[in-house]
Structure 1
Amino acid sequence: MKITITGGAGFIGGNLVRHLSRIPEFTEIRVVDDLSTGFEENLSGLPVRFFEGSVLDSGLLDLAFDGVDTIVHLAALPSVSRSVKDPVASHHANATGTLSVLEAARRAGGTRVIAASSSSVYGANPHIPKHEELRPVPMSPYAVSKLAGEAYLAAYHHCYGLPVLSFRFFNVFGPLQPAGHSYAAVIPAWITAAAAGRPLVVHGDGSQTRDFTYVGTVCQVLAQAALRKVSTPDPVNLAYGGRTSLMSLIAELELTLGTELRTEHQPNRPGDVRHSQADDTRLRNLFPEIEPTSLRNGLKRTVRWFLTQDG
């Protein structure tokens, strides 16, 4: 099976390439990435054909998609706070980028597209846990751009018969996740702060909750979806129903690191969702063979990786 991963030099993409390279059924792995948020070193030593460039480059996509069986579309401009600062850039990368990928898949003869959406689409809808039939109430331009991508996937299925699958990622964490920038996710930001002896910045009171998902589990699901050619126009939550407050996460980190951590509370950020937890019924029905890595074990693996990095 030949597969192309857009955004394959990023955090999730780099982990996915590693995972697929160990599965003999994947005979060729291609990566499209403009390296705006990814890093070529994430692919170092891995058996990939690398296409450097944007998913908005139709000619590049035609080359990268030619003859492949599945496209995993991970390329995006991540971060709610980044989208609040620059909503147009988020729209171009995420919504228009997804449309560009779908058009290229159609030109390639109707190639299967598995795409990353986001739990942020649920937004201000207060229902917990979040099931896929809930009305989306996006609170940020990032969430809107991801919801638009989902809608495009469904439309291309209905209009053109394109096999599609849209996963709503929740708070994915693990090795390769970048930490040293202002839009860093909370787990890598906190691990690097703890390692440097700095206080952990908590936006708000820390009682807000998240459904953290270890990247290895995400890669297992994506690989199985490609191998078994799973498709549905309806979105699927990719998380397993955990509900961890930020203060509880700090307690888990203290246990993992074996030290007490200092915190510094700052104001809430615009666009941030208060509570997030997945209903995993649809996911487990589609992928009953996969058992997720626990938050504790995922944190241990993640901390071990971060603490072995130079600098």
Structure 2
Amino acid sequence: MTLPLTFSPEVTEARAKGLPLVALESTIITHGMPYPQNLETARQVEADIREAGAVPATIAIMEGRVHIGLTEDELEALAQAKDVSKLSRADLAACLANGGVGATTVAATMICAALAGIKVFATGGIGGVHKGAEESFDISADLRELAHTPVSVIAAGPKAILDLPKTLEVLETLGVPVFAYGQDAFPAFWSRDSGLAAPLRADSAAQIAKAHLMRERLGLPGGQLVTNPIPEDDEIPAATLAPLIKQAQAEADAQGISGKQVTPFLLQRLFELTDGATLTSNIALVRNNARLGAAVAREMQR
């Protein structure tokens, strides 16, 4: 069967010329920031990838098609769209079948990137094991996707609102390689050091690319997670965030918020509690990951 993939003109040209491609998710546009800041950030991240020598491929679902790369008009429309579905592995096919509009999470972006032959994906942070998961069983599909889908994900670590030790344990159980870039400490999204050691370390884009390609040669399923610490000037220390995360989580519990609604609620509350500092840091770390993603994609092509 023909896959329901639509490539933007820029991505089509890149594929024809064999240029390195970097996938980008669309949930950060539809659910992560208000308009027009979401559009400005999306444009800037794409520009960062181009400046670093690769081609961006923002992924979204529109009119029953997986769009690999968005035109300027499509990006503008998505940034202003209302009631956009937030898609993961479980609901990706249903949205496509029904001709809906959907933004791809980490898991869904990995699936679509792999279908398009893209091996590198840059994002902000991944999902993971939520606090209290021993009772709620709330564990992001991102973790299992990393074990299944052969895409290297460049992120600033799991989102700081999560249970990081349990997230690392699940990744280890699933056989997912977890690297810290340029340091031994495992970063935690807005913070460079979570207090945990990273299982693996990589000090260059070439090392990351070689590890990915070696997994392919060995026939090992799944991808790898590369945690890229946020730049020092944009960091919010973990000690500063800890009491605010605890407060936001208590508010979510009191209001009965669960499932897919937990993460957006907590991120919004932390934005409010830090007077917008988390959003500023979020933009900085996404751009930082995009630049590293472009470097890794270039090395893959070599």
Please state which band the TM-score falls in when normalised by the shorter chain.
0.3 to 0.5
- Normalising by the residue count of structure 1, what TM-score does the alignment of the two structures yield? 0.38
- Normalising by the residue count of structure 2, what TM-score does the alignment of the two structures yield? 0.38
